[in-house]
């Protein structure tokens, strides 16, 4: 019996989808604990590429149960669209997808609030995905949210949605001069999706507790990454949930004493989408090379991702915050054409050296990375599945990272496909 948590260690898009899909092989259940359809998790299965947003990354294994936990915010239409896409592709999941009856719902007024605020010059632009994530979590914390279980009683649901709608309408129109659909349109849309969602509702906390008691292996899947965590990330340039491993406890109702392992996912370099500080960001041809070789364009919004060198201050922070005992290192192959590979080991600001992550955005925005350099390997590592087959300099780089961040690698990824992986150990 084992409960393992997988969390992103950077600013998201570390390759969690691929890693969770691979580790799911040994799990019985994969459960998403936070975020919403802002996530984009890419998985290759039988030669096809899929991008999952809400559905857990274990869905391509026919015998795995997938749970969407209470900590996730669910846009019912987005979930239905995703389910339909999988169905069209012939992926069967009828009795394998469970949704927490305590999960909060995203409605179109959340998206309108998100987009209006982002496009209004008066407010700080975060560069959100425009999916209504922030406003929906804001309603949850303000105790105004609508939970999945509220879908069961139509009259009560109408009252709840109407009260929220009136408030959002006033704000969107008066403050942002923005557009909002009519109440009837929104409510009818919700009623259309209601039946399918109700059919999947489960008391997932109780379900998971029983499964853990039955000695099943549970993989808790995080979305986004440590630096996007609302408490620990580069606030306010973060998402609105706890993407770090602690989020698995609150987002699934699993007590901390039940968690056996925490694994991180980290890219061999760094990317970020949206606004906010990024100390190792590159604006030169090296940055272009990483974007081109790594196909660094958002899986959800298609936006080009900002690219930079590996940041060990971020990595160590992620190891400590999440309690990571081992990590999956991804996209090593993307560095194949770099003559020199750099790793930032500290930040320098106004003559002071920072080895720990500073909270102050002023420091993060204006600091200079202190770099250690590694010689590149200048040959293809794509698809390498044995550590010994990697070029010597690639092995030196990986061993160097291990020392600098103080964690073992349980997996090294050398391409987007399942078999393009050096597997060192399993999780369970």
Catalytic residues: 13, 41
Q: Indicate whether 82 belongs to the interface with ligand GDP (CB under 6 A).
A: no
- Cα-atom radius of gyration of the chain, to the nearest Å? 21
How many angstroms separate the CA atoms of 318 and 325, rounded? 11
Query: Cβ 199 to ligand IMO, closest distance in Å?
Result: 26
Q: Contact with ligand GDP (CB under 6 A): which of 9, 27, 34, 40?
A: 40
Q: Indicate whether 17 belongs to the interface with ligand GDP (CB under 6 A).
A: yes
User: From the CB of residue 356, how many other CB atoms can be counted at a distance below 10 Å?
Assistant: 11
Alpha carbon distances (Å) from 239 to 53, 224, 407: 15, 8, 26
Find the helix or strand (DSSP H, E) in which 346 lies.
strand 340-349
Q: Indicate whether 246 belongs to the interface with ligand GDP (CB under 6 A).
A: no
Q: What share of the chain is helix, strand, coil (3-state, %, to 5)?
A: 40, 20, 40
How many angstroms separate the CA atoms of 337 and 319, rounded? 28
Query: Cβ 358 to ligand IMO, closest distance in Å?
Result: 19
Looking at 24-32, 147-155, 255-263, 299-307, which segment touches Mg ion (CB under 5 A)? 299-307
Q: Indicate whether 53 belongs to the interface with ligand GDP (CB under 6 A).
A: no
Cite the DSSP H helix spans in 348-389. 361-366
Q: Indicate whether 29 belongs to the interface with ligand GDP (CB under 6 A).
A: no
Pairing of strands 29-32, 217-221: parallel
Distant-in-sequence, close-in-space partners of 420: CB < 8 Å, separation ≥ 6:
333, 382, 383, 384, 385, 413, 414
Cβ atoms of 165 and 135 within 8 Å: the answer is: no
Q: Contact with Mg ion (CB under 5 A): which of 7, 30, 227, 299?
A: 299
Whose CB is nearest to ligand IMO?
274
Looking at 8-16, 63-71, 361-369, 400-408, which segment touches ligand GDP (CB under 6 A)? 8-16
List phi, psi (to 5°) of 356. Answer: -105, 155
Q: Indicate whether 15 belongs to the interface with ligand GDP (CB under 6 A).
A: yes
416 binds, among ligand GDP, Mg ion, ligand IMO, none (CB under 5 to 8 A by kind): ligand GDP
Q: Which is nearer to Mg ion, 40 or 253 (CB)?
A: 40
Q: Which is nearer to ligand IMO, 207 or 235 (CB)?
A: 235
Looking at 66-74, 75-83, 169-177, 326-334, which segment touches ligand GDP (CB under 6 A)? 326-334
Query: Cβ 158 to ligand IMO, closest distance in Å?
Result: 28
Alpha carbon distances (Å) from 257 to 23, 70, 220, 248, 260: 22, 19, 14, 12, 8
Q: Which is nearer to ligand IMO, 49 or 380 (CB)?
A: 49
Query: Cβ 8 to Mg ion, closest distance in Å?
Result: 9
Q: Contact with Mg ion (CB under 5 A): which of 8, 15, 40, 287?
A: 40
Looking at 94-102, 114-122, 236-244, 410-418, which segment touches ligand GDP (CB under 6 A)? 410-418
Q: Which is nearer to ligand GDP, 365 or 380 (CB)?
A: 380
Q: Contact with ligand GDP (CB under 6 A): which of 2, 9, 10, 12?
A: 12
Cβ atoms of 331 and 363 within 8 Å: the answer is: no
User: From the CB of residue 75, how many other CB atoms can be counted at a distance below 10 Å?
Assistant: 25
**3 state DSSP class of 412:** strand
Q: Indicate whether 333 belongs to the interface with ligand GDP (CB under 6 A).
A: yes
Looking at 9-17, 117-125, 232-240, 359-367, which segment touches Mg ion (CB under 5 A)? 9-17
Q: How many residues bind Mg ion (CB under 5 A)?
A: 3
Query: Cβ 41 to Mg ion, closest distance in Å?
Result: 6
Q: What is the 3-state secondary structure (H, E, C) of 133-173?
A: HHHHHHHHHCCCCCEHHHHHCHHHHHHHHHHHHHHHHHHHH
Query: Cβ 290 to ligand IMO, closest distance in Å?
Result: 15
Residues that bind ligand GDP (CB under 6 A): 8, 12-18, 40-42, 295, 299, 330-331, 333-334, 413-416
């Amino acid at each position: 019996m084992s409960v393992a948590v997988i969390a992103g260690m950077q600013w998201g898009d570390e390759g969690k989808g691929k890693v969770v899909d691979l580790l799911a092989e040994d799990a019985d259940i994969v459960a998403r604990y936070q975020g919403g359809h802002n996530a984009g998790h890419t998985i290759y299965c039988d030669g096809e590429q899929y991008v999952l947003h809400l559905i857990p990354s274990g869905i391509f294994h026919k015998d795995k149960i997938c749970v969407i936990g209470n900590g996730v915010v669910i846009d019912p239409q987005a979930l239905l669209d995703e389910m339909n896409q999988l169905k069209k592709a012939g992926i069967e999941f009828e009795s394998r997808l469970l949704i927490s009856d305590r999960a909060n719902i995203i409605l179109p007024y959340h998206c309108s609030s998100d987009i209006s605020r982002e496009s209004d010059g008066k407010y700080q632009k975060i560069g959100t995905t425009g999916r209504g994530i922030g406003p929906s979590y804001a309603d949850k914390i303000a105790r105004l949210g609508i939970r999945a279980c509220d879908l069961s009683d139509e009259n009560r649901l109408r009252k709840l949605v109407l009260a929220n709608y009136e408030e959002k309408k006033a704000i969107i129109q008066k403050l942002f001069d923005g557009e909002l659909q009519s109440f009837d349109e929104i409510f009818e849309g919700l009623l259309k999706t209601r039946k399918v969602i109700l059919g999947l509702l489960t008391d997932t906390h109780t379900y998971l507790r029983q499964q853990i008691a039955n000695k099943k292996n549970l993989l808790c899947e995080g979305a986004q990454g440590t630096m996007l965590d609302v408490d620990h990330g580069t606030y306010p340039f973060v998402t609105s949930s706890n993407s770090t491993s602690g989020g698995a406890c609150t987002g699934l109702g699993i007590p901390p004493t039940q968690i056996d392992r925490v694994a991180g996912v980290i890219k061999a370099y760094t990317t970020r989408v949206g606004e906010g500080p990024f100390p190792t960001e590159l604006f030169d041809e090296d940055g272009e090379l990483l974007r081109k070789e790594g196909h660094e364009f958002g899986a959800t919004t298609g936006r080009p991702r900002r690219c930079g060198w590996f940041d060990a201050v971020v990595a160590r922070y992620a190891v400590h915050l999440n309690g990571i005992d081992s990590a999956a290192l991804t996209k090593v192959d993307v560095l194949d054409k770099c003559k020199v590979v750099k790793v930032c080991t500290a930040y320098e600001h106004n003559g002071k050296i920072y080895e720990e992550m500073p909270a102050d955005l002023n420091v993060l925005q204006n600091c200079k990375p202190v770099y250690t350099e590694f010689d590149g390997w200048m040959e293809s590592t794509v698809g390498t599945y044995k550590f010994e087959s990697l070029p010597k300099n690639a092995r030196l780089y990986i061993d160097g990272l291990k020392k600098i961040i103080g964690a073992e690698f349980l997996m090294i990824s050398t391409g987007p496909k399942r078999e393009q992986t050096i597997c060192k150990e399993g999780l369970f």
